[in-house]
Structure 1
Amino acid sequence: MEKFSAKKCSLQILSKQHVMLHVTLTHRYLLLPVEENQGLVRIKVIQNGDVKQVLNVKLAIHNSDYSVPLALQQWEGKTVLLDIVFSENTSVLKSIEDYVCWELLQYSETFDTENREKFRPIYHHTPSYGWMNDPNGLFYNKGIWHLYYQYNPYGSQWENMTWGHATSENLVHWQHEGTPLLADALGMMFSGSAVVDHHNTAGFGEGAIVAFYTAAGDNQTQCIAFSNDEGKTFQKYSDNPIITAPIADFRDPHVFWNEDIQQWNLILAAGKEMFIYTSKNLKVWHFESSFGFGYDTDDEVWECPDLMKLPIKGTDRCAWLLICNINPGGPFGGSATKYFVGSFNGYEFNCESNLLKSKWMDYGKDHYAMVTFDNAPEHRRVGIAWMSNWEYANEVPTQQFRSANTVPRDLSLFVYDGETYVSSIPSEELLHMRKEIVDRPMPACELVIDITSQQADLEIVLQNHLKERVIMKYKPQHETFSFDRKHSGNVSFHSTFAKKIEAPTLGKITQLRIFIDKCSIEIFDAEGKMVMTNLVFPTESYDEMKLIGLATCTIYRLE
């Protein structure tokens, strides 16, 4: 690693907020020091008068929290010019030439992504470094699960949205594959979906992967890109954007092939509604209808929709599920995932429930942006969600990375008390993570709790020797399950994190499956009627458990 001296490279000061400097292209990376509590700094990478890239980074002024890599070998030539503008509200007690970033910039041939975080999960998907939010473009093809995600490679807080990419053969262990979709003149890469075009309806090639995304510039527009190498690289469509509208919050297209009408459907979020479109070729889309009027509340913004036909357990019938991720407006504050069940004829969705009745896919604080994989085998509907909450996602106590995704869940429907609900169970692939049975909780484990009586309450306590603890209670007479993380460990980073939450169980629970990882606890009724996902940040892992009530527990170590 070679020290970079901005002062030796003639730091050109243009104002108290504006500098320029030349960077040689003799190394693979320039490491940028980040100080998270500072304002964003805009950096333009300029070569021969052309802007090659624009990024926003919180460059270190007083001290560095960590560094992020700016890849230099993507540009040909000898040098590039960095045009650097600090925000006007930057408040410091030193002159711009004395900022520590100029001494901490470094050339390097490598960038260290070795895990340095005590809270990095063992078996949940995370980015190797940087910020992640919504899962995007999920699809399965030729034995491989593909997961794209909203990604900031220049810091561990939201900014610079690109699509990161990971692949897996088993839905559990993920391989990082780079950042195949980057910002362009139309804007940053917001959320979307991807489909396998088996019959070449778009003309990009048989079996091409076609990605749909929102370009977030001055306005939000819908665009496509295609891949002929199994989603490793994409070429953006020359006639983008393909869908526009005079709506500020207009994003997150989700596309699927509808066998019933032999056409493609697209559903996207438009303010507090969902717009539905049809197409024969994935390029030209026809608006068909909207859904949502009267179903929203004043503070909600609708995002990340999904729409699918699912079987109803215990019957030979199917119904349609419309997933709607909202922020704010969750049942316990912040972001959450609600859903509607009804009928869909390919052109219009009709909800079967009372418009005032909200149904929540997960009653935890940390489940958002749930979407499902296209082309999953055996007609499965497998979903993954972002495991955080917009109330505090930028502030959780990690820095090398921020945010993980939930374990995968298989979706179906069931009927309880005359209403149709979503059943969400851990995907079968998670069974292969089970290793030996152990006698106490571990940093990565699954608790299988068999409840032997419905006459008395059950209390489950997980704790460590510091008495940091979470308390879970099942009340069969009230058909409720609660989770209290007020004393779970570090709860000081945000005022809304320490909370007790409660979910309806929609019937009796006979078995619970509880997935514990370094910073999360996901609780499933084994039949999928109740799910709850919550982050926790204990000083030390929970290694003690108390069961108060009539139940037995088997603990599996997971890896």
Structure 2
Amino acid sequence: HPLLVLFLATGSLHAAENIVIADFEGTDYKPWKVSGDAFGDAPSKGPYAGQMKIEGHEGSGFVSSFNGGDGSKGKLVSPDFKIERKFITFLIGGGAWKGETTLNLVVNGKTVRAATGKNFRSGGSEKLSRAFWDVSEFSGKTATLAIVDSREGEWGHINVDQIVQTDDKGDAAPAIDGVEPPVEITRKAKVTGDFLQLPLVRNPDRSQPGFQKLSVVHDGKVERFMHIMLPAKGQKPDLWYSADLRQFKGKEVTLKFSSADKTALDALEFGDKEHIDPKAYEGTHRPRFHFSPRLGWMNDVNGTYYHNGLYHLFYQFNPASTEYGPGFDMHWGHSVSKDLIHWEEWPIALFPDGSGQCFSGTTVMQHSPIPGVNDGAKLPAPALFFSGTEPFSQHLATTPDGGKTWTRHSANPVVPKMGHSDRDPKVVWHEPSQHYVMVLYVDGKGDTYEFLRSKNLTDWERTSVIPGWFECPEFFPVKSPTTGEDLMLLYGCYGGKQWNSDENVRFRSCYQLGKFDGKTFTPVTEIRPAHLGPNFYAALIFMNDPKGRQIMMGWGQNTRFPGEPFNQCASIPLEMKVKAIDGKDTLCYEPAEEVEGLRGKAVIQEKNLTAEEANRKLERLNKE
């Protein structure tokens, strides 16, 4: 029976079952022997006091030598076992100290394999990762395992779980035995092209030692920085990014980085051609009429305005990563449009520098001369306000060329730190009081909006504060459709007592109408929810709209586009109108008229349908 013989032969090739050496699910370490105080008396069931959250282990129990903190020491030794499979796999994390925070395989009294975690500096991650040793050369020999913590100080501990003998290592990575800590390296160079061409590893684990801050220094000042990981020697980059250095072309700069490879900066080149993927906008999940950046991460909408025939859209932006989220290496990306639908990428407007990242802010239109701010500018002209983060403070920038490039004001910061992480300045011109007015989110002693005013955009006076409001304010004039009064609409996020009530409310998008005398906002309505979409956040109106409209765009928070070179997008443009509904001044949203150009011929046109009637018509349409 040849078929039967073939079946049996095939079956004999199946991998032998795994042998679990240790899963650390017991109430103590037995039969392992424990010494010292680093490991405690039993496997850990969670982080020790002062330890970060531990992820990646299996089951509830695992080994961690953080008992007593990073100053404790100890050792765990397994009973003897016979090596019977090709690989030993395990979950490991913690410190990267060779010979000090280590899992050792010992054969005949000699350490023949060793593995450590990846961390050696503050931050990092307690996550355990699966790794393996190839132990086929020791097949049939008797061995022991030793988990060692002899390190004091930062990341002086090790985490281990699920040690298994197997013939199938699966997705486990080769074990690392210590990490050579990076050292600061520098390179002085003349900028001979518009861009510094950077070969990058895409979205590396930030705890990896190769993930470091690259700085560009000119005349002793940090003018650019971003965190990147360069490929190892012989490793192909996942992507190329062209870092814009046009401002420094022909000048001498110093590049600063940290790497175990002291030649890492030598291979970097300048060039005039920007690396642009010609298929960047062809992806399956690329939105077709919601704005999204060509590459990288975006979040808050910033600084929106209209000027000289173009709508300008800025946004929180990390061009080198799609994963690290808000608040990491924030630039101001910049795109323009003639119709709010079709967008053209312009150069990055603001870069992280010695004052920190460039957090959110707004644009105000300058209509009159301000010495030292808009000298020689053709008015009206835009001015950007944004938040620096080291320390948190408010900064001013202006443009000499219609928005192509932006220059930071020499008096920055124009508003020094007031609370903890002050940010998101909204600046408007208040005609009745003849002052510029800033609404600023200030925390530290609770969430607040601070009101400030200025005549010249550089000297600011605090005038009032309202509690409970937080992040990304918007502030603009409206006429009450119920009373005819001229009011101001305050928009943002709120958590606290409802106006004239003891009821606690919390809104991620809300508004309140009130009177404003140039110093103090006096509410005349309750705080009411605005946009109800769960993904709509950090939104602003376009200042100076040619039709006098209030057109708002927001961040499409938590939108996901798997496999694309970008992450997150913006909402469609929405026109905000205050209407009289049931006797109340009510904020309403509707798509801006420009969106109508995307629509084809109507297939159903009906009015005053019940939901049931509408569903029946839609159901019939689907069948047809």
Distance 1:48 1:162, change over 3 A: closer
1:265 aligned residue: 437
SS at structure 2 position matched to 1:320: strand
User: Which TM-score applies when normalising by structure 1?
Assistant: 0.65
What is the identity, as a one-letter code, of the residue corresponding to 1:289? S
Structure 1, 268-277 or 336-345: larger mean CA deviation: 336-345
What is the identity, as a one-letter code, of the residue corresponding to 1:258? H
1:547 aligned residue: 618
Distance 1:235 1:110, change over 3 A: closer
The reply on whether 1:30 has 2:205 as its aligned counterpart is: no
What is the identity, as a one-letter code, of the residue corresponding to 1:387? G
1:388 aligned residue: 557
2:348 aligned residue: 179
CA displacement, residues 55-110 of structure 1 (integer Å, 9 cap, x when unaligned): 21244578855332234666557997654337xxxxxxxxx6699x9999787644
CA displacement, residues 515-543 of structure 1 (integer Å, 9 cap, x when unaligned): xxxxxxxxxxxxxxxxxxxxxxxxxxxxx
Distance 1:353 1:74, change over 3 A: closer
The reply on whether 1:215 has 2:388 as its aligned counterpart is: yes
CA contact (8 A) 1:220 1:248 kept: yes
CA contact (8 A) 1:193 1:255 kept: yes
1:413 aligned residue: 578
What is the identity, as a one-letter code, of the residue corresponding to 1:286? E
Counterpart of 2:412 (choices 224, 240, 243) is: 240
Distance 1:327 1:190, change over 3 A: farther
CA displacement, residues 239-264 of structure 1 (integer Å, 9 cap, x when unaligned): 11111233112111111111222222
Counterpart of 1:454 (choices 610, 618, 623) is: 610
CA displacement, residues 252-306 of structure 1 (integer Å, 9 cap, x when unaligned): 1111111222222111111211111122222222111111x2x46xxxxx11101
2:239 aligned residue: 66
Distance 1:79 1:139, change over 3 A: closer
What is the identity, as a one-letter code, of the residue corresponding to 1:113? D
What is the identity, as a one-letter code, of the residue corresponding to 1:320? M
Of structures 1 and 2, the one with the larger relative CO (CA 8 A, separation 6+) is 1
Counterpart of 2:452 (choices 263, 277, 281) is: 277
Deviation at 1:210, TM superposition (A): 1.4
CA contact (8 A) 1:154 1:160 kept: no
1:18 aligned residue: 183
The reply on whether 1:142 has 2:301 as its aligned counterpart is: no
CA contact (8 A) 1:384 1:407 kept: yes
CA contact (8 A) 1:130 1:153 kept: yes
2:401 aligned residue: 229
What is the identity, as a one-letter code, of the residue corresponding to 1:360? P
Q: How does 1:349-360 map to 2 (within 5 A)?
A: 349-354=521-526, 359-360=528-529
SS at structure 1 position matched to 2:601: strand
Structure 1, 105-114 or 257-266: larger mean CA deviation: 105-114
1:311 aligned residue: 479
2:228 aligned residue: 57
SS at structure 2 position matched to 1:232: coil
Counterpart of 2:428 (choices 256, 262, 273) is: 256
Distance 1:222 1:278, change over 3 A: same
What is the identity, as a one-letter code, of the residue corresponding to 2:473? P
What is the identity, as a one-letter code, of the residue corresponding to 2:464? S
Deviation at 1:370, TM superposition (A): 0.9
What is the identity, as a one-letter code, of the residue corresponding to 1:346? G
User: Which TM-score applies when normalising by structure 2?
Assistant: 0.58
Distance 1:229 1:72 in 2: 17
What is the identity, as a one-letter code, of the residue corresponding to 2:472? C
Distance 1:437 1:154, change over 3 A: same
Distance 1:314 1:65, change over 3 A: farther
Distance 1:142 1:48 in 2: 35
Deviation at 1:168, TM superposition (A): 1.2
Deviation at 1:19, TM superposition (A): 6.0
Distance 1:427 1:47 in 2: 44
Distance 2:476 2:276 in 1: 41
Deviation at 1:385, TM superposition (A): 0.6
1:117 aligned residue: 283
Distance 1:326 1:118 in 2: 37
CA contact (8 A) 2:316 2:359 kept: yes
Deviation at 1:26, TM superposition (A): 6.1
Distance 1:265 1:21 in 2: 44
The reply on whether 1:131 has 2:314 as its aligned counterpart is: no
1:372 aligned residue: 541
Deviation at 1:409, TM superposition (A): 1.1
1:466 aligned residue: none
What is the identity, as a one-letter code, of the residue corresponding to 1:339? Y
2:58 aligned residue: none
The reply on whether 1:400 has 2:565 as its aligned counterpart is: yes
The reply on whether 1:324 has 2:497 as its aligned counterpart is: no
SS at structure 2 position matched to 1:290: strand
Work out the number of aligned pairs and report it.
414
Distance 1:236 1:49, change over 3 A: closer
CA displacement, residues 192-228 of structure 1 (integer Å, 9 cap, x when unaligned): 11122122245514333211111111x2111111223
Distance 1:400 1:345, change over 3 A: same
CA contact (8 A) 1:38 1:58 kept: no
CA displacement, residues 354-393 of structure 1 (integer Å, 9 cap, x when unaligned): 5xxx53322222111111121112321111111114xxx6
Cα-Cα RMSD: 3.7
Structure 2's unaligned 5+ residue stretches are: 1-178, 497-505
Distance 1:237 1:314, change over 3 A: same
The reply on whether 1:341 has 2:506 as its aligned counterpart is: no
1:193 aligned residue: 362
SS at structure 1 position matched to 2:402: coil
Distance 1:324 1:384 in 2: 13
Distance 1:403 1:350, change over 3 A: same
Identity %: 26
2:338 aligned residue: 169
Distance 1:228 1:405, change over 3 A: same
Distance 1:181 1:60 in 2: 27
Q: How does 1:471-490 map to 2 (within 5 A)?
A: none
What is the identity, as a one-letter code, of the residue corresponding to 2:313? L
The reply on whether 1:289 has 2:450 as its aligned counterpart is: no
1:433 aligned residue: 598
Deviation at 1:142, TM superposition (A): 2.3
Deviation at 1:424, TM superposition (A): 0.9
What is the identity, as a one-letter code, of the residue corresponding to 1:191? S
What is the identity, as a one-letter code, of the residue corresponding to 1:377? P
Distance 1:201 1:76 in 2: 30
1:42 aligned residue: 213
Distance 2:507 2:448 in 1: 17
